[in-house]
Amino acid sequence: MGAEKILIHFPREPNYQYVNGSEMKIFAQAGESEHCVHVLSPSHDLLSARKKGLKDAIFTHETSGSKDAELIYWKSGYWFMERLISTAEHSYILQTKNRGLDSEAHRIFAASFDLEKHEQIVHF
């Protein structure tokens, strides 16, 4: 899916799923939490596109910095915590899904993300 290389730590061996020709999903369950990385085609408006695609979600937190954005929302009986990152080659959604609001599990998961080409991060 391109020349970009990412590193991320999953608490268990992850599963890989190609959703279509332009999206890949890498995910693993760990106790109550499910961690997932969505690898998408690049988007310069990832935050708006993501929010628009989340019908019936109740948003409780949103931040947007120069290099990434964060979302916390409730949908279908689960809490979702997401970190959104876009580069010239891909957009990434680092997601933790849980029945409770376990921000520490998401913080550890999202902090483990490393992108080989840091200089290509697109600003929000």
Give pLDDT tens digits for 79-117.
Answer: 999 999 988 888 999 999 999 987 888 999 999 999 875
Higher pLDDT, 104 or 123: 104
Q: Is 36 exposed, middle or buried (0-12, 13-18, 19+ CB in 10 A)?
A: buried
User: How much is the pLDDT for 115?
Assistant: 84
- Could you give the domains of the chain? 6-117 (3.40.1000.10)
Tokens representing 47?
A: 């935050």
Amino acid found at 121: I
Interval 38-48: pLDDT, tens: 999 888 888 99
User: How much is the pLDDT for 30?
Assistant: 85
Tokens representing 43?
A: 């988007």
pTM of the full predicted structure? 0.87
Given a cut of 60, whether residue 1 has pLDDT beyond it is no
Given a cut of 70, whether residue 13 has pLDDT beyond it is yes
Tokens representing 115?
A: 């992108």
Higher pLDDT, 123 or 46: 46
Residue 14 CB contacts under 8 Å (≥ 6 apart), including other chains: 26, 27, 28, 35
The model's confidence at residue 2, banded by pLDDT at 50, 70 and 90, is low
Interval 23-72: pLDDT, tens: 999 999 988 899 999 999 888 888 998 999 998 999 999 999 877 899 99
